[in-house]
């Protein structure tokens, strides 16, 4: 799977400005009312990730969840990362 090109990166960034983009990954921190809400979100992410067979790095800190998406086997950002981020945005928020 090829890495996304600069135009695709820019389009994603314009559509989803809350995601931070680095050279090899995208990252976003979500804040919730409490730990239970944060974990409910993580369960939702896990279901989407399992269906996509593409799993984010997840950091949980009480009411904050940080997701980092990158395709490690390709060494950077691919369409799989952007597609999962879009699903998280549209289905879980």
pLDDT digits (tens, 9 = 90+) for 21-50: 999 999 999 999 999 999 999 999 999 999
- pLDDT of 75: 95
pLDDT digits (tens, 9 = 90+) for 70-81: 999 999 999 999
DSSP tag of 19: S
Going from the N-terminus, what domains does the chain have, and what CATH number goes with each?
6-71+78-92 (3.30.1360.20)
Helix (H) or strand (E) holding 82: helix 79-87
Report the predicted TM-score, pTM, of the whole model to 2 decimal places: 0.95
């Amino acid at each position: 799977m090829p890495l996304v090109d600069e135009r695709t990166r820019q389009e994603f960034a314009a559509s989803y400005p809350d995601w931070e983009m680095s050279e090899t990954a995208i990252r976003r921190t979500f804040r919730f009312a409490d730990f239970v809400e944060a974990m409910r979100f993580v369960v939702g992410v896990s279901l989407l990730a399992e269906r996509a067979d593409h799993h984010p790095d997840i950091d949980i800190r009480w009411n904050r969840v940080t997701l980092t998406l990158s395709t490690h086997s390709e060494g950077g950002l691919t369409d799989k990362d952007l597609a999962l981020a879009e699903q998280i945005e549209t289905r879980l928020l």
